[in-house]
Structure 1
Amino acid sequence: GGEAGLEGAGRARRAEPSRAMEDPTAGRALRRFTWEEIGQRSGRGPEQQERWLVIERKVYDISRFYRRHPGGARVISHYAGQDATDPFIAFHLDKTLVRKHMSPLLIGELAPDQPSVEPSKNKKLVEDFRELRANVEKMGLLNPNRTFFILHLCHILVLDVAAWLTIWYFGASTVPFLFSAVLLGTVQAQAGWLQHDFGHLSVFSKPKWNHWVHKFVIGHLKGAPASWWNHLHFQHHAKPNCFRKDPDVSMHPLFFALGKTLSVELGVQKKKFMPYNHQHKYFFIIGPPALVPLYFQWYIFYFVIQRKQWVDLAWMLSFYIRFFLTYLPLMGVKGILGLHLLVRFIESIWFVWITQMNHIPMHIDYDKNLDWFSTQLQATCNVHQSLFNDWFSGHLNFQIEHHLFPTMPRHNYWKVAPLVKSLCAKHGIEYQCKPLLTAFADIVHSLKDSGELWLDAYLHK
């Protein structure tokens, strides 16, 4: 990263020496840039290979570094040509350390006549959100209560043991088999929410501690790779519901037409991978019940082998070894395979309904380079708070707060929610919060609506 940054700085100085200035902190000549110049370095297009971005008025050349970015090449590239100040603050715990590693990439700063906020964005809203973020830190809402997470882990382990004891004591007949499967399905869902906490660095003050436990929870308790989750999930958070940048919506055109813009676009282009006007019906078949057992189950192994993530593979295998060693003597090969498939089926239904209720009914479009607050609010909605909803969804019923403050421990979402609502009211931004069953129904309604838009465009345009 250092060599790439220094070389990029050298290119910049040679290109426009007349605009160079002396940066006393870096001890080297740096250029001054306009927002227009930054926007031209987005890395998009066959002739555009340079990638620049802005963080706190400083301009960084990530043209070569982005491939080595610890958070993933795509997530940082999604902000090429844009201001990345707010996502930088949102995603990184130890900002001082990260800034030191960024130093070789520094090639300049915004010219004095350039505003701190991109001209296309709502300056007052950006400033108000940054003030809110500062107040959140002062209030200690980013500080975790580790007892909460320890108890959550303990309840997962208790359910896991209870599932095995059920088969051990009562045998593998139908009733104990199904009861054990429900317990293990609950383990998988709740471990999914817990690994999500560690993946977002929400539990420990040191990123590496979160990374270590994350591998244990997602690898040993769930049989999935941390690298795969990081690769997909941080892109989703950086640009939620942005086609070609959020993988959660970019992979859907093969099966679903999502959102008003993309549905019409598919129809105009006469693309019919599926009969999208019936997608609200076949969603119940190829959506919740099939995603984990029929897609994720094999793809995660392909992912770790193709990318040579051998540590993740070892953690995954430890899950399967433990599962087979503990259940094989009680059930035999057919029984254990049936149990595993049923558990994945239960997990899949739980996972899909919860993760899609906050996003699928919301605005889906190409990246419009909106400010951080607007980007998250137009793509997310909340579900009413209750003890059950909090537990059942892993506090993802507070999806708005989670997206605005991704490193915030989930037990503090309810505390920051009134502040977020006030900011929305001040700027006339809708803050959507609905009952759980309504949120589920809205998934189906939005699929039906976008399917009809696709059909109309397909037949008449």
Structure 2
Amino acid sequence: MPPRANIEELVDGPKNFRRADIIRTVEKKDNDSDQHPWYIVVDNKVYDIKDFVPDHPGGAVILTQIGKDSTDAFYNFHPDEAIGILANYYVGDLAPEDIITSKEGFTQELREYKEFFKKRNYFNSSKLYYTQKVIHNLIIWAISVTILAKFGDNLFGILLSAAIMGLFWQQCGWLSHDFLHHQVFDNRKYNDLMGSFLGGVCQGFGPTWWKDKHNTHHAAPNVHGQDPDINTHPILTWSEHALFDIFDPEMNANLLPRWVSRFMVKYQTLSYFPILCMARISWCIQSILFVLPNGQNGKPANACMPISLTEQLSLGIHYVWYFYIFSFISDWKLGFTFFFASQAICGLLLALVFALNHNGMKILTEKEAQEMDFFIKQVITGRNVIASNPKLQCIVDWFCGGLNYQIEHHIFPALPRHVFHKVQPIIQTLCEKYEIPYHKTTFLEGTKEVFNRLGQVSAASRKLT
């Protein structure tokens, strides 16, 4: 029996809901979350998910869907059998006058292409491909450690080993991303175990911390106030919306003194690359804090994610092997150089690619996102990266870990990276058919776009001053 079903509903049949009433759920949740239901819509059926949120494996990301038609988001992030779990929270249907029955349009064609890709086995990963990727990554690690062991007494050996270690961590990031998106195995437990090995043991990033952050990003890309990937102000400020947190005298959302925040925004084009170098250290600290007993303080109590012992052990093992290899270094000054260089190089290599994915693209308000089609939102906020010379595309694909096909990844997050190149022309043609902006650029041009966007926000901040 649905948890919120009552006698009247059972006698009279499912209740009909107007779409406007579903949308108003968001306001009621923010004002008085304990007194009102939390509705979402999937396939024109209405579900009250309040009692399900504490048990949701994906954590707080589900909160971004309250008050929305979550049909495409639901099927993008879950296996088909998950609809059986959701059925326990069914409370009614959309009113007939609010049901969208059109079989035409961008979204419908994407749904049809997804079924076509399944028939072509595009969603079935090549285990050989991922096996060689893991082996290649471990070889990179072995090269770095071997150089450190043989040349740990001179600066050149230290810097070379640190650079290769930074590359190893970056590539582990891309691989753990694939496994934690369940692109590789049908059994999600195997994906999570590999995510703990590559993300935790190898890279030092907690898989649960990453899922909590990254899944929310997928559900609300470039949505101000929801997407954690752009919620970086005043360290880096990506939109005029965020400036209100710094310049509005009634806002007090920043931990830093207001004059420091304003200074950082005004000169963020100068601090951009140094900040990227510090990104890995910040993410490592966040991962450690997240797995501690009080690591999720500040999150809704019913949206905290359980932390497994496997994940805690994986992070511990990472720091055991990482600090052990410092025994190969002859003195503390070189040891400090290796630590800082390896962390900074990895941070730069990761963040340069991350920034190209969405930064500098259109940023949506929560109201705009509420009214926008799920797939269109994924397309217009993403940026694909191509090689200036088609012969070098394989290098771009390797360095970016397939995330250079950002638009295709956001539309089909469970699609293995080795088939992105097959679906990319189809998606671009479909976007052109429906006149939906599809943006792709080279690595250098995309970085310039990101840099220019930071400059535009800095200029706006000077006017506000």
Using the size of structure 1 for normalisation, the TM-score is 0.88
Secondary structure of the structure 1 residue equivalent to 2:340:
helix
Q: Distance in 2 between matches of 1:332 and 1:323?
A: 16
Corresponding residue SS for 2:30: coil
Give the Å deviation of 1:125: 2.5
Q: Which residue of 2 aligns with 1:62?
A: 49
Residue 288 of structure 1: aligned partner? 276
Match of 1:80 among 38, 57, 66: 66
Match of 1:258 among 226, 230, 238: 238
**Secondary structure at the residue paired with 1:78?**
helix
1:428 matched to 2:435? The reply is yes
The answer to whether the 8 Å contact 1:71/1:231 transfers is yes
Q: How does 1:88-99 map to 2 (within 5 A)?
A: 88-92=74-78, 94-96=79-81, 98-99=82-83
Letter in structure 2 aligned against 1:279: Q
Please report how far the alpha carbon of residue 323 of structure 1 lies from its aligned counterpart in structure 2 after TM superposition: 2.4
Question: Deviation of residue 351 (structure 1)?
Answer: 1.0
Q: Which letter maps to 2:30?
A: G
Q: 1:77-226 to 2 correspondence within 5 Å?
A: 77-92=63-78, 94-96=79-81, 98-116=82-100, 124-226=105-207
Deviation at 1:450, TM superposition (A): 1.8
- The DSSP-based 3-state class of the residue aligned with 2:96 is coil
Q: Which region of structure 1 is more displaced relative to structure 2, 253-262 or 195-204?
A: 253-262
Decide whether the 8 Å contact of 1:164 with 1:327 is kept in 2: no
Q: What are the superposed Cα offsets for residues 62-117 of structure 1, whole Å, 9 maximum, x if unpaired?
A: 01211321001x2111011111110111112x322x12222211112223333237
- Secondary structure in structure 2 of the residue aligned to 1:108: strand
Q: 2:451 aligns with which of 444, 449, 453?
A: 444
1:46 and 2:53 matched: no
Q: Within 5 A, what are the aligned runs for 1:237-248? A: 237-248=218-229
Distance 1:171 1:78, change over 3 A: closer
Moved more, 31-40 or 146-155: 31-40
User: What is the alpha-carbon distance in structure 2 between the residues aligned to residue 337 and residue 320 of structure 1?
Assistant: 15
Provide structure 2 residue ranges, at least 5 long, that are not aligned to the other structure.
252-257, 296-305, 388-392
Instruction: Check whether the contact 1:261–1:365 (CA below 8 A) recurs between aligned residues.
Output: no
Q: Aligned partners of 2:115 and 2:246: how far apart in 1?
A: 42
Amino acid across the alignment from 1:290: M
Provide the residue aligned with 2:254 in structure 1. none
State the one-letter code of the partner of 1:95: D
Question: Match of 1:365?
Answer: 364
Per-residue deviation, residues 127-172 of structure 1 (Å, max 9, x unmatched): 2222222222222221211111111111110111111211223343
CA distance change for structure 1 residues 291 and 330 in 2, over 3 Å: closer, same or farther? Answer: closer
Hey, what's the Cα distance between the residues in 2 that align with 1:329 and 1:163?
Answer: 12
Give distance in 2, aligned partners of 1:186 and 1:101. Answer: 41
CA distance in 1, matches of 2:240, 2:419: 34
* Of 369, 377, 380, the match for 1:378: 380
* Residues 200-232 of structure 1 deviation map (CA, whole Å, 9 limit, x = unaligned): 111111111111111111011012211100010
- CA RMSD in angstroms, aligned pairs only: 2.3
Q: Which amino acid aligns with 2:235?
A: F
Determine if the alignment matches structure 1 residue 299 to structure 2 residue 286.
yes
TM-score, normalising length from structure 2? 0.87
AA matched with 2:116: N
CA drift at 1:399: 0.6
Q: Structure 1 stretches of 5 or more lacking a match?
A: 22-29
